[in-house]
Copies of this chain bind each other. A is one copy, B any other.
Amino acid sequence: VPELDRDAHRLVVDGLVERPLELSLADLRERFERVRVRATLHCAGNRRAQLIEVAPVPGHVPWREAAIGNAEWGGVRLRDVLTAAGILDGAGHVAAEGLDVSYEPGEPTRFGGSVPIGRDAVLADEMNGEPLPPLHGAPLRLVVPGYVGARSVKWLAQLTVQHEPSTNWFQAVSYRMQRTLDEPGYALGETAVNSAIARPENGGRMRAGSVAVEGWATSGGDRVVERVEVSVDGEWHEADLDGAPLAGAWRRWRVVVEVAPGEHELAARAWDSSAATQPEDPRGLWNPNGYANNAWHRVRVVCD
């Protein structure tokens, strides 16, 4: 976690713009309208553990279903800042770079990535009504709802408007969907419909009868979660969804199912506004970095 001085921090905005900007946090607060946006951030490798059961994924964290979180982000609109800089013809993408340095690429490299120029995003200095914590990217981070978490660059120092997507190592080389490690594959970006059971936990024991099953569901881009279903041993039940649909934010869900004594498999699947649902089987989704698993989430429970 880089230790940054709030007062000295500057955001540089350059590239294909009429007026390059160098903005302090005070400039951002004074010159632009404040917004608060609920958005989910999730790791591209969330739910990798289920892929590792299919085949090994060396060198990556075996995330189960909790490499995900949802918060209310306070800050200013990316769009307003780019408009102030004056977007020039030919602009296709906005590349973000943070001040954290990784040695993973072989040489010290700042973390970065890009999103298409029209994408709604927030330059956030607050999280859930409090100043952004250092671990979450203080003093300033990008938050891109509906995209893999890697695009929500922390410790944000640079925005570059450019014709092509970012050539940063963490987009051009890493965070890609590959069939094999020796082909380039394609960059991750928008996320797909996904869901998981948070309770009960896999391997849990409980009393037979009415069991509350709860979890989260998300989609990507401008899509919203429309439906979640939970099966008990293959029989599907519709879950109640929390709150109104909002693109880029998760929906929590809950359903009470009747479970007889014995061992059972619970599974969850979500549907989004594109009428997409999750694939049944993780075997078709395995990839050598274990990204983007959205197979039905399954837990086994024993009821007494």
Residues on A lying within 8 angstroms of B by beta carbon are 116, 177, 179, 186-193, 220-223, 226-227, 238, 269, 271, 273-281, 284-285, 291-292, 294
Contacts and interface: CB of A to CB of B under 8 A. Distances in A.
B281 A238 contact: no
Contacts of A275: 177, 188, 191-192, 291-292
B190 A223 contact: yes
Contact of A274 (B190, B226, B271, B285): B190
A116 B186 contact: no
A192 B116 contact: no
A117 to B, nearest CB: 12
B177 A271 contact: yes
A99 to B, nearest CB: 28
Given A186-B227, A279-B280, 13 more contacts: A116-B222, A177-B271, A186-B226, A187-B273, A189-B274, A191-B275, A192-B274, A221-B221, A221-B222, A222-B222, A275-B292, A276-B276, A276-B294
A177 B179 CA distance: 33
What secondary structure prevails in chain A residues at the interface with B?
loop
B284 A280 contact: yes
A115 to B, nearest CB: 11
Contacts of A285: 277
A295 B103 CA distance: 42
8 contacts: A177-B275, A186-B227, A187-B273, A275-B292, A276-B294, A277-B285, A279-B280, A280-B280
A292 B284 CA distance: 21
Nearest to A193: B276
B274 A221 contact: yes
Nearest to A238: B179
Contacts of A192: 274-276
A172 to B, nearest CB: 15
A281 B284 contact: no
Nearest to A291: B275
Contacts of A191: 274-275
Contact of A221 (B223, B238, B291): B223
A197 B227 CA distance: 30
Contacts of A271: 177
A150 to B, nearest CB: 12
Contacts of A273: 186-187, 189-190
| Closest 8 A/B residue pairs (Cβ) | A275-B292, A192-B276, A190-B274, A186-B226, A192-B274, A279-B279, A220-B274, A221-B221
A33 B12 CA distance: 34
Contacts of A269: 284
